[in-house]
Amino acid sequence: MTPGIKRKILYGVGALVVLILLLNSTFLVKEGEYKVVLKFGEAVRVVGSPGLQFKIPFVENTMTLPKRQMTYESNPTSILTKDKKPIIVDNYTVWRIDDAQQFLRTAKTVGAGIQRIDAAVYNTVRRKLSEINYDQIISEDTARGNLNDEITKDVAEALKRDRSGVQIVDVRIKRTDLPESNKQSVYNRMISDRKSIAAQYLSEGDEESRKIMAKADRTAAELTAEAQAKAKTIVAEGEGEAAKIYNQAYGKDPAFYSFYRTLDSYVTTLQNEPVILMPIDSPYARILLGRQP
């Protein structure tokens, strides 16, 4: 082998060694992930910024953890409510790793971390629902949103106390249903209870209606009596005033007033063209015939 060939081989080996060293001293961090740098199996640093990073070759290695939000759906679980009704509950949890080093110390893997989350969610949901009756859970007036918020807060605090390195974003109950074995009996009892409540409301409504009608009738009778009394008073005052005016008019010219009254009586007497017998020389007949009385 000539010296030139030996040199080329040495250069090639050197370049290969440099390439191997270079490949083992760099790593790439992608968007949405953590790169945890391990030294002899112990996490020494966490890199969350995307880009090319460096490490000590053959001494340090890396592992990847998700940085994005993840969703875990629990298996349906039977839980007893406050009134001892078994219900089937399933829920989902939105979570993320916010401290990768702490997460590795406590959970090691994503699967183990999910198990810790599942246990915390189950304990909290069981405790919360055991404080509520079933009809309150399914009622339209139940603040399900508030219940979910309380569960989310309690789970987040529990995992924070455990220094799990996990952030709980949201916990939501998807379904609260009765087992098929006793669903119908509970529904029938609920229907009966609702009918009883409806009958009570109707009875109370009828009683209140009767009270209102009686009060309205009494008020109407009082107003009518008061109005009639005022009307009689006004009529009496009017008649008295009319009589006074008549007396005043009669007193000024009695003859004219008598003549006027006689003419006015003709309007009533001669309606429908009656046959009247009277002396021709009577004052009533003389005026009717146009003669002086």
SS (H, E, C) the chain: CCHHHHHHHHHHHHHHHHHHHHHHHEEEECCCEEEEEEECCEEEEEECCCEEEECCCCCEEEEEEECCCEEEECCCEEEECCCCCEEEEEEEEEEEECCHHHHHHHCCCHHHHHHHHHHHHHHHHHHHHCCCCHHHHHCCCCCHHHHHHHHHHHHHHHHHHCCCCEEEEEEEEEEEECCHHHHHHHHHHHHHHHHHHHHHHHHHHHHHHHHHHHHHHHHHHHHHHHHHHHHHHHHHHHHHHHHHHHHHHHHHCHHHHHHHHHHHHHHHHCCCCCCCCCCCCCHHHHHHCCCCC
Name the residue with tokens 């440099």.
18
- Verify that 168 and 78 share a domain, yes or no: yes
- Verify that 77 and 142 share a domain, yes or no: yes
**CATH number of the domain to which 94 belongs:** 3.30.479.30
pLDDT of residue 186: 64
Flag whether 14 is in a domain. yes
pLDDT at 198 over 70: yes
pLDDT of residue 83: 81
pLDDT of residue 139: 62
* Cα distance between residue 19 and residue 280, in whole Å: 159
* Cα distance between residue 97 and residue 163, in whole Å: 12
Cβ burial of 261 (10 Å; 0-12, 13-18, 19+) is exposed
pLDDT higher at 57 or 183: 57
Q: What is the pLDDT of residues 135-171, one digit of tens each?
A: 777 664 455 568 888 999 999 999 999 889 999 999 9
Mean pLDDT for 101-124 is 90
Q: What is the pLDDT of residues 20-79, one digit of tens each?
A: 766 667 778 888 888 888 887 777 788 878 888 778 777 778 888 888 899 999 888 888
Return the percentage of the chain with pLDDT > 70, whole number. 79
Give the residue among 155, 129, 160 at the shortest CA–CA distance from 142.
129
| Residue after which a domain boundary falls, among 162, 178, 194 | 178
Flag whether 228 is in a domain. no
The number of folded domains in the chain is 3
pLDDT of residue 261: 72
Mean pLDDT for 168-194 is 76
pLDDT at 281 over 60: yes
Flag whether 193 is in a domain. no
- Output Rg (C-alpha) for the chain, integer angstroms: 53
CB 113 within 8 A of CB 137: no
pLDDT at 231 over 90: yes
pLDDT at 108 over 90: no
Q: What is the pLDDT of residues 114-142, one digit of tens each?
A: 999 999 999 999 998 888 887 777 664 45
* Cα distance between residue 110 and residue 121, in whole Å: 16
Question: Is the pTM of the predicted complex or chain greater than 0.75?
Answer: no
The per-residue pLDDT of the chain, averaged, comes to: 81
- Verify that 167 and 103 share a domain, yes or no: yes
- Verify that 60 and 82 share a domain, yes or no: no
pLDDT at 259 over 60: yes
Question: Could you tell me the residue range of the domain that residue 11 belongs to?
Answer: 3-65
pLDDT of residue 31: 85
Highest mean pLDDT among 1-15, 51-65, 139-153, 210-224: 210-224
Flag whether 218 is in a domain. no
Distance separating the N- and C-terminal Cα atoms of the chain:
180
Flag whether 56 is in a domain. yes
Flag whether 110 is in a domain. yes
Give me the half-sphere count of Cα atoms (radius 13 Å) on the Cβ side of residue 17.
6
Give 239-243 contacts, CB < 8 A, sequence gap 24+: none
| Residue after which a domain boundary falls, among 138, 163, 178 | 178
Q: How does residue 84 score in pLDDT terms, banded at 50, 70 and 90?
A: confident
- Verify that 43 and 92 share a domain, yes or no: no
Instruction: Please state, in angstroms and as integers, the Cα–Cα distance from residue 212 to each residue in 167, 181, 208, 270, following that order.
Output: 60, 48, 6, 56
- Verify that 78 and 170 share a domain, yes or no: yes
